[in-house]
A and B are shown apart, each in its own frame.
Chain A
Amino acid sequence: MSRNLMKNKQFIGKGLIGELYKRKLLYAMMSVGIIWTLIFAYIPMAGLVVAFKKFNYTDGIFKSPWTGFDNFKFLFANKDLINITYNTVYINLLFILFSTAVSVILALLFVEIKSKVFKRVSQSIVILPYFISWAVVSMFLQGLIGDRGLINQLFAGLGMEKIMFYKEDTYWRAILVMLRIWQGAGFGTIIYIATITGFDTEIYEAARIDGANRFQLISKLTIPMLKTTIVMLTLMSIGGIFRGDFGMIYALIGDNSLLYRKTDVIDTYVYRALRQNSNLGFSTAVSFYQSTVGFVIVLASNWLTRKLDPDSALF
């Protein structure tokens, strides 16, 4: 009798159905999220076909005629295409790199704070910039580095020549990165702090007893243990590397073409190009292009991560 039972178990154990049944609770739990994703993310994705169609308002998404790659022409015909692509990727890389570095360093410092009051207060302060809209930041920035701004007033007071920040593009990548850090690094510490809090304190105990000082604890224990989280977050960000932060850059740069050489990204260019144009196919085409390239890059990065450190890979 036991042998029969065992045979049954083996039979059920194989294949999709078997797998589902074995951990049916877990799969049932996942099904809610999966069905939601199917409805609200995958069904609308069908609209991506508009990228290859001449969208007609009366025909709608499915009956509009196909036009192949026509909708992509305006993007690739731009003489500055290489430059704006380079800007998009480079600025995004800078953002990822610096934001992560500053967030991690701040997080490491935060957990070392002894005074509870100082800790609570400072943590509340550093997340404030996250909630200030870029439109407001733009106004303040003008007040700081504009022609009549504080910095130039300082220069004038010291007898030095003014720097026309809004007429020269030299400083702007640095300015963008600094603003990005200001806005997001504080908020970004939250996830790292939460992760560190979850670390097993026994390991730290053992290391202390072995004579490690606090610097060593941080460098040899905390940072390596944070690696998985850092890599995962970075991988997720890389998928968007072909998408410029339109909200930020357009609010700060706007139509000031004098700064475009260093700061114009795909998204801001497309916005300007399509201001007079209401062809849905154009904007969908660009989005499709950005998604596809990002996708390829993520696949490559993920594959690389799998080889080097499988635990940190996304999938």
Chain B
Amino acid sequence: MTMRDINQVKKIKKKKGADAIVLDTIVVLVISAFCLFCLIPFVMLVATSFETEINILREGYKLWPSQFTTKAYQMVFDAGQIGKAYGVTIFITIMGTLISMLVTIMLAYPLSINKIKYKTQVTFFIYFTMLFNGGLVPTYLLISKYLDMRNNIWVMIIPVLLNPWNMFMMKNFFRSIPEELSEAAYIDGAHDLQILRKVILPVSVPGLATIGLFYALGYWNQWYNAMLYIDHSSLYPLQYYIMNLTRSIDAIKEMARMTGQAIGSLPSNSIRMATTVVTIGPIIFIYPFVQKYFTSGIMVGSIKG
């Protein structure tokens, strides 16, 4: 190495030093500010879930409850059915995500290959459904009357199996994989399925994790199909069960009003908060573990210089 080279490297190092510090400071400041922006309402949410109803009316929403009570949570866990609801939701989340990923990959991968002649037509075919929707009544007739899927746990999975958004994003991920990889395998004599399994999927972990997460969250939050098609409370998923709790309280109040019963104050505001916490809880626990799949340890351009 010549003297010039060493100086060059020194210069580069110096430049790296300066701009690294500036960038890192900006990063920490901005991210922290945004985190605060997101965190504070959540803290208020948790605090309010432990506050008495009267105090909420009198003092509004604060960061710390002035009169601590677990009444709202008692109501949530009291009915005992919540365990079943969790079970139903876990089932449909796992099964649903698996099947959805299967179907989505089977659609997204071929569409990402340039050589497929009809890919534009199929893409359009799928995309069109994002725009045009027959509405609730025809869908209901199809599922309830013709397919007879009422009161069947699969009604919360099969009719919502394929999400076009997710499919397009997956297709995008596949497209970003350099063609040379699959070309090489093709020449070596592998057929499409093997290429998919052995070449494409291992390289697509971030994309798969992301779309898998999106599907999982969708199934986790699912309530609409339960509302429409499920009458047996043993099949209620968590979200719907929780919604019913809140509505139950409103219905009790309504009934009391119509019959003139004085029923004290029911935790209608705090229970809304408590139910939100109960739903978010599991997600926040699991999320950090999933994170590592779509944010690998590699930082862009961070090789220590």
Contact = CB atoms under 8 A, between A and B. Distances in A.
A217 B283 CA distance: 34
B216 interface: no
Contacts of B210: 190-191, 194
Contact of B207 (A37, A198, A233, A287): A198
Contact of A42 (B120, B129, B287): B129
Nearest to B305: A208
Contacts of A205: 303
Interface of B: 12, 15-16, 19-20, 23-24, 26-28, 30-32, 34-35, 37-39, 41-42, 44-45, 60-61, 103-104, 106-107, 109-111, 113, 115-118, 120, 122-135, 137-139, 141-142, 158-159, 161-162, 165, 167-169, 172-173, 175-178, 191-193, 203-204, 206-207, 209-210, 213, 221, 269, 272-273, 276, 279-280, 283-284, 287-288, 291, 294-303, 305
A253 interface: no
Given A19-B117, A61-B138, A112 B38 contact: no
A186 interface: yes
A140 B41 contact: yes
Contacts of A160: none
13 contacts: A32-B103, A34-B122, A48-B134, A124-B288, A125-B38, A136-B273, A186-B38, A198-B176, A201-B300, A207-B301, A213-B16, A215-B19, A315-B127
A122 interface: yes
Contacts of A105: 30
Contact of A37 (B37, B141, B162): B162
A157 B300 CA distance: 48
B126 A193 contact: no
A133 B239 CA distance: 12
A93 interface: no
Overall SS of chain A's interface: helix
Contacts of B269: 139
Contacts of B273: 136
Given A40-B142, A228-B172, A294-B131, A23 B16 contact: no
Contacts of B39: 125, 128
B34 A222 contact: no
Contacts of B37: 182
B209 A126 contact: no
A112 B279 CA distance: 31
Given A30-B110, A36-B161, A111 B295 contact: yes
Given A139-B61, A213-B19, A315-B123, A61 B137 contact: yes
B242 to A, nearest CB: 11
Contacts of A109: 26-27, 30-31
B272 A136 contact: yes
A10 to B, nearest CB: 16
B131 A106 contact: no
Contacts of A120: 288, 291
Contacts of A200: 178
A45 B294 contact: no
10 closest A-B pairs by beta carbon, nearest first, are: A47-B138, A47-B134, A33-B107, A44-B134, A29-B106, A26-B110, A41-B129, A44-B138, A194-B294, A194-B210
A251 interface: no
Given A30-B106, A109-B30, 20 more contacts: A25-B193, A26-B113, A42-B129, A43-B138, A105-B30, A109-B26, A112-B27, A127-B287, A136-B273, A137-B41, A194-B209, A197-B296, A198-B204, A208-B301, A222-B300, A228-B172, A232-B169, A233-B169, A298-B131, A315-B127
A47 to B, nearest CB: 3
Contacts of A91: none
A315 B24 CA distance: 39
Nearest to B11: A211
A140 B61 contact: yes
Contact of A124 (B120, B287, B296): B287
A122 B132 contact: no
A143 interface: yes
